[in-house]
Chain A
Amino acid sequence: MTKKKFDVTKHSLVPKHLKLSDKEKKEILDLYRISLKELPKIRKKDSGIAHLEVKEGDVIKIIRPSATAGESIFFRVVVSA
């Protein structure tokens, strides 16, 4: 086996993951009137966000194709591995 690294973010089935700034994060939490507890989670070691340099408590915005809406936006909070 060669040690070529495979970049999952380039894979067609991996949706776009973005890190939210603190301001954006607050906006999202205010919009849905929630704390981080109510958000869906994503593991810190998830390969989809390996390139983002995230820490626990960050919110990840995921833009993915949707059968019903064309494109759907999802948020996840980073939790420990």
Chain B
Amino acid sequence: MAEKEQTVSEVAAVGSESSQANGVGEATIASEIASEAKKTEQLEQPEKREPKRIEPQEQLVSKSVRSITFSVFSPKLIKQMASAKVVTPELYDKEGYPVDGGLMDIRLGVIDPGLKCKTCGSKLKECSGHFGYIELARPIIHIKFIDLILNLLKCSCRDCGRVLIPKNKIDKAKKDLENIERDLGIEERRRSVKDIITNLKTINKCPWCTVKQQKITLEKPTTVLENEKRVSPIEIRARLEKIPDEDLELFGVSPKNMRPEWGVLTILPIPPVTMRPSITLESGERSEDDLTHKLGDIVRINQRLFENINAGAPEIIIEDLWDLLQYHITTYFDNDVAQLPPARHRSGQPLKTLTERIKSKEGRIRHNLAGKRTNFSARTVISPDPMLSINEVGVPMEIAMKLTVPERVNTWNLAYLKQFVKNGPKKYPGSNYVIRPDGKKKKLTDETIEASLEELQPGYIVERQLLDGDIAIFNRQPSLHRMSMMCHRIRILPYRTLRLNPVVCHPYNADFDGDEMNLHIPQTEEARTEAEILMEVQTQLISPRYGLSVIGCIQDAISGLFTLTRDLEVDRTFAIDLLGATGMTEFNKLPRKEKITGREIASVLLPEDFNFTGKSKASLSKSTTQKERPIGTAVEIRNGKLISGVLDSSNLGEGSGLLLRTLHKKYGKEFTIDLLGKLFRLGIEVLLRVGFSVIISDTDLPENAQKSIKETLEKAELDVQELISLFHNNKLETFPGRTLRETLELRILEVLNKARNRTGEIVAEFASPNSPTMVMAESGARGNLLNLAQMAACVGQQAMRGKRIDKGYKGRTLSAFKKDDLSPSARGFIANGFKGGLNPAEFFFGGMTGRDSLMDTALRTPKSGYLYRRLANAMQDLKVEYDHTVRDAAKRIIQFTYGEDGKDVSKSENGILNVRRIIETMAEGKQ
């Protein structure tokens, strides 16, 4: 915080104002005690003179803040800065006017329009409020200082007030601390202070005056006990006063900024009304802020305490009131103290007092300082539109007419901008505001359009409504990586959803089951340029995580391209129709013949000098049951012609395959994004024309296949029976390190898994390769062979915690089974397929694992979210320096070479640098 170069504008006259008291505002570096949170910030002195209105025309002086000191208010200072003493809990008199000496006293600032502040004479919004104070009848312990107070009491002599360190060692201890701070920093010093305190707690004789020390304990939250007897705050304060300044250093207290007895309050500052404004309800009733309520309680009890003391009431009554005052003041500072019941509204909802205002997610820091609300933003449900370009976002007309872009009027665009003003806010494309050169903002309404049109001239700014091609930042929470916020071009569309090309779902992790997304319109030329250069979708194509394209074809587009490039052969007119749907208008590259293959159609989109060799999904899998079909061969592109292989998810999918990566490397981001859009549209167009429906008969198997599946399962069943009987006869050979029972389980699982996999193979072999279900599985568009096998043949073993299901009743899973039945069907093996139908026990087992995984995901998501937040916060300012080291904000080295290999993953292909290709392209270039 210190040393921050910050320009502060202040009026020249301010320097001559009231002199500043004891070191306030002095440029000292924050001492350790002071930088701990919760300490009240030292404020400037109250302005007692006639205040000067600050005119913007006055000369400005710019200065830089060198440092900020945090310290603790002394009673003297509280009184000094106060402009009113609060003596009554009443707020308003009969006329509804603030009572003098009440909590809403107009000397503390004004929150009603029309009233003038009695202290500074300014009106509402001009006066930022002034502190007041109340005199406490008896001292009260400040809850936030209780730990410090307790430590000090334990570590100082109850009689003479000196620290329990012998005279000869005290200087050395101080020097040690200084050295530690110099060498290892303030953190380390704090740690050693803690050590000193724990050491001192055990000493029971003062080395200075040899007085025996008593055992001091804390009865939470604020009662201090000495030998089980209560020590009153008066006594505590007296003891703290006795501790000499020079001893305080050892406890991390800087006497310049704080005396420990200030932790026991004798006087309480009352915050200005402006920080606890009351709200007037519709009924005309006033509703006070939580803080005002709390302060009212404090003032009321304090007054009663005064009266009782003066009337000479019995000690018990006074004690009771004193405790009550302690309670109110404690909850005023913090309404979430462990052993105290929180103070509540009449409705039973807890009051939000000082600590709650600052703390946690809804507190000032995370809610108002680390996060802010934005103007020029929109949010609605999203829906897909593949006909949009990938870097476009469809914006509803309603939104387009609310959000604006400021454009400065000059001689050349005057006529152009006048048209917007003329249209006004209701006719698209219009404008909503006009800003005059003096900064006055005027809303355009039917009445003001004429006048604004008249006066519009260079220097004015017109806030015009959105147009096609404007720049916007599009975002979906949780914003986990940089691709969660990308820059898109606006496209105004009818209806009421934000539209995006389904290709960019993956980086945003969006789907269309009701997801909402946010849109922001950058308002300055710099912001727009920056968004365009750094954040546009094209620039985010290659993931910094794995060096492949994060966006790619999905679902139908993959199925379509797979169908197209596998074995489709169509008429020339049909081919032209398909290509036309991609947005192409030139068809010269299409071969001049009647029948055109799908591969030739796809090749039209590829650049003519493009060469590529890659693998398709089928050629990657080890499955040998596939007959030799085009999908099994490698993808070969020569001179922009797809010679063999199919286009499927391994080359076009999001986050996989090198085809997109290679295109990006050779032809750049703009070209790749354009080609991807065309391929996508080609893919869906094929499906649209050819037709694609998943039907039940996709899972039909020929009779012999069904028979062999049945046999496989029966064989497995028998094998398991065999194992079980071996187990019962103690003839099973145990695995090393396993019990007999564990061995049996492992063997059974092995047998059953093998059987299930075998049924999967049978399904893969006999299922019609042209069925839509198989096309989806083989192309990688959606689903896999396992899903198909589960439908057609056998669902397989249901497992919980990596074991077969064994819970439920004693020795059995369901009452339908016999005790200690270890057979597959009694332990969660589902031998039927989904199409054939499960029996009741099987269905129940499926339900068990299904519920289990549902709970698991529901519990894991928030946990991993918090884990991520902690990591992100811990690493947020790590940075790769020019010397390839990774360093933190203090330039300490974290890694000597980034990632230990110094590679920028986003410049690689799947984390690999293809040296051979680099050499080849270099050699080509030389020829």
Stretch at the interface among B364-372, B538-546, B898-906, B916-924: B898-906
Contact A66 B901 (CB under 8 A): yes
Contact A75 B897, CB 8 Å, known A34-B891, A38-B891: no
Contact A73 B896, CB 8 Å, known A32-B883, A68-B903: yes
Query: Is the C-beta of B893 less than 8 angstroms from some C-beta in chain A?
Result: yes
Interface centre among B890, B892, B900, B903, by most A CB within 10 Å?
A: B900
Query: Is the C-beta of A72 less than 8 angstroms from some C-beta in chain B?
Result: yes
**Residue of B whose beta carbon sits closest to that of A33:** B883
Give chain B residues whose Cβ lies under 8 Å from the Cβ of A67. Answer: 900
**Residue of B whose beta carbon sits closest to that of A39:** B893
Nearest-neighbour CB distance to chain A for B569, whole angstroms, equals: 47
Could you give, for residues 866-910 of chain B, a 1 whenever the CB lies within 8 Å of some chain A CB and a 0 otherwise? 000000000000000001010100111110110111110000000
- Considering only residues 20-52 of chain A, those with a C-beta below 8 Å from chain B are 32-34, 37-40
Nearest-neighbour CB distance to chain A for B903, whole angstroms, equals: 7
**Could you tell me the distance between the alpha carbons of A72 and B887 in the complex, rounded to whole angstroms?**
17
**Residue of A whose beta carbon sits closest to that of B892:** A38
**Residue of A whose beta carbon sits closest to that of B888:** A38
Give chain B residues whose Cβ lies under 8 Å from the Cβ of A75. Answer: 896
Give chain B residues whose Cβ lies under 8 Å from the Cβ of A38. Answer: 887, 890-893
Give chain B residues whose Cβ lies under 8 Å from the Cβ of A34. Answer: 891, 893
Contact B885 A69 (CB under 8 A): no
Give chain A residues whose Cβ lies under 8 Å from the Cβ of B891. Answer: 34, 38
Contact A72 B897 (CB under 8 A): yes
Contact B893 A68 (CB under 8 A): no
**Could you tell me the distance between the alpha carbons of A23 and B883 in the complex, rounded to whole angstroms?**
21
Contact A68 B896 (CB under 8 A): no
**Could you tell me the distance between the alpha carbons of A33 and B882 in the complex, rounded to whole angstroms?**
12
Contact B883 A69 (CB under 8 A): no
Contact A68 B900, CB 8 Å, known A32-B883, A32-B885: yes
Give chain A residues whose Cβ lies under 8 Å from the Cβ of B899. Answer: 68-69
**Contact of A74 (CB < 8 Å), options: B892, B896, B901, B902:** B896
Contact B893 A32 (CB under 8 A): yes
Nearest-neighbour CB distance to chain B for A81, whole angstroms, equals: 13
Nearest-neighbour CB distance to chain A for B753, whole angstroms, equals: 30
**Could you tell me the distance between the alpha carbons of A37 and B900 in the complex, rounded to whole angstroms?**
21
Nearest-neighbour CB distance to chain A for B189, whole angstroms, equals: 14
* Count, chain B residues at interface, CB 8 A: 15
Give chain B residues whose Cβ lies under 8 Å from the Cβ of A32. Answer: 883, 885, 893, 896
- Considering only residues 802-851 of chain B, those with a C-beta below 8 Å from chain A are none
**Could you tell me the distance between the alpha carbons of A39 and B887 in the complex, rounded to whole angstroms?**
10
**Residue of A whose beta carbon sits closest to that of B881:** A32
**Residue of A whose beta carbon sits closest to that of B896:** A74
**Could you tell me the distance between the alpha carbons of A74 and B893 in the complex, rounded to whole angstroms?**
10
**Residue of A whose beta carbon sits closest to that of B183:** A37
**Residue of B whose beta carbon sits closest to that of A65:** B900
Contact A69 B901 (CB under 8 A): yes
Contact B901 A68 (CB under 8 A): yes
Contact A69 B897 (CB under 8 A): yes
Nearest-neighbour CB distance to chain A for B185, whole angstroms, equals: 9
Give chain A residues whose Cβ lies under 8 Å from the Cβ of B902. Answer: 69
Contact B900 A69 (CB under 8 A): yes
Give chain B residues whose Cβ lies under 8 Å from the Cβ of A68. Answer: 899-901, 903
Give chain B residues whose Cβ lies under 8 Å from the Cβ of A66. Answer: 900-901
Give chain B residues whose Cβ lies under 8 Å from the Cβ of A74. Answer: 896
**Could you tell me the distance between the alpha carbons of A67 and B900 in the complex, rounded to whole angstroms?**
9
Give chain B residues whose Cβ lies under 8 Å from the Cβ of A73. Answer: 896
Nearest-neighbour CB distance to chain B for A31, whole angstroms, equals: 8
**Could you tell me the distance between the alpha carbons of A37 and B423 in the complex, rounded to whole angstroms?**
65
**Residue of A whose beta carbon sits closest to that of B890:** A38
**Could you tell me the distance between the alpha carbons of A33 and B893 in the complex, rounded to whole angstroms?**
11
**Could you tell me the distance between the alpha carbons of A46 and B781 in the complex, rounded to whole angstroms?**
53
**Could you tell me the distance between the alpha carbons of A14 and B900 in the complex, rounded to whole angstroms?**
18
**Residue of A whose beta carbon sits closest to that of B902:** A69
**Could you tell me the distance between the alpha carbons of A37 and B854 in the complex, rounded to whole angstroms?**
49
**Could you tell me the distance between the alpha carbons of A12 and B900 in the complex, rounded to whole angstroms?**
20
**Could you tell me the distance between the alpha carbons of A32 and B883 in the complex, rounded to whole angstroms?**
7
**Residue of B whose beta carbon sits closest to that of A68:** B901
Give chain A residues whose Cβ lies under 8 Å from the Cβ of B900. Answer: 66-69, 72
**Could you tell me the distance between the alpha carbons of A40 and B893 in the complex, rounded to whole angstroms?**
6
**Could you tell me the distance between the alpha carbons of A39 and B893 in the complex, rounded to whole angstroms?**
6
Nearest-neighbour CB distance to chain B for A63, whole angstroms, equals: 12
Nearest-neighbour CB distance to chain B for A67, whole angstroms, equals: 8
Give chain A residues whose Cβ lies under 8 Å from the Cβ of B901. Answer: 66, 68-69, 72
Give chain A residues whose Cβ lies under 8 Å from the Cβ of B896. Answer: 32, 72-75
Give chain B residues whose Cβ lies under 8 Å from the Cβ of A39. Answer: 892-893
**Could you tell me the distance between the alpha carbons of A69 and B887 in the complex, rounded to whole angstroms?**
19
Give 25 A-B contacts (CB < 8 Å), ordered by A residue: A32-B883, A32-B893, A32-B896, A34-B891, A34-B893, A38-B887, A38-B890, A38-B891, A38-B893, A39-B892, A39-B893, A40-B893, A40-B894, A66-B900, A66-B901, A68-B899, A68-B903, A69-B899, A69-B900, A72-B896, A72-B897, A72-B900, A72-B901, A74-B896, A75-B896
Q: Which residues on A are within 8 Å of B, measured CB to CB?
A: 32-34, 37-40, 66-69, 72-75
Ranked nearest first, the 4 interchain pairs of A and B with the lowest CB-CB distance are A69-B901, A72-B900, A68-B901, A66-B900
With A38-B893, A72-B897 given, can you name 12 additional A-B contacts, CB distance below 8 Å? A32-B896, A33-B883, A37-B892, A38-B891, A38-B892, A40-B892, A66-B901, A68-B899, A68-B901, A69-B900, A72-B896, A74-B896
